[in-house]
Amino acid sequence: MTVHVGILGGGSISDTHARAASELPAVRVSAVCGANREKVERLAARHTATAYGDVEAFLSHRPLDLVAIGSPSGLHGDHIAAVAGQGLHALVEKPLEISTARVDRIIEVADRAGVEVGVFFQERCAPDLETLKGELAAGALGRLTLVTAHVKWYRPPEYYSQSRWRGTWALDGGGALMNQGIHTVDLLLWLLGDVARVFAHTRTGLHAIEVEDTVVAVLEFASGAIGTIEATTAAFPGFDRRIEITGTRGTIVVEHDRIVRRDVMDAPLRSPSVGEASESPSAVESQPGAGARSAVVADATPHRRVFENFLAALANGSRPRCDAREGRRSVAVVEAIYESARRGTAVDVGKVQA
Give the integer Cα–Cα distance in Å for 343 and 47.
49
- What's the whole-model pTM score? 0.92
Q: pLDDT-derived band of residue 287, with 50, 70 and 90 as boundaries?
A: low
What is the pLDDT of the chain when averaged over all its residues? 93
Residues of the chain within CATH 3.30.360.10 domain(s) are 124-293+331-348
pLDDT of residue 267: 74
d(CA 247, CA 143): 5
Q: What is the CATH number of domain 124-293+331-348?
A: 3.30.360.10
Please give the Cα distance from 322 to 123 (Å, whole number). Answer: 10
DSSP 323: B
Q: How far apart are CA 321 and CA 187, in angstroms?
A: 12
Question: How many Å is the Cα radius of gyration of the chain?
Answer: 20
Q: Which CATH architecture has domain 3-122+300-321?
A: 3-Layer(aba) Sandwich (3.40)
How far is 275 from 348, CA to CA, in rounded Å? Answer: 42
Name the segment(s) of the chain with CATH classification 3.40.50.720. 3-122+300-321
pLDDT of residue 351: 85
pLDDT at 279: 36
Summarised one tens digit per residue, pLDDT across range 312-321 is: 999 999 999 9
Contact call for residues 287 and 297 (beta carbons, < 8 A):
no
The SS3 assignment for 235 reads coil
**What does DSSP say about strands 195-203 and 214-221: parallel, antiparallel, or unpaired?**
antiparallel
| C-alpha neighbours within 13 Å on the C-beta side of residue 289 | 14
Return the bridge partners of 299, or none: none
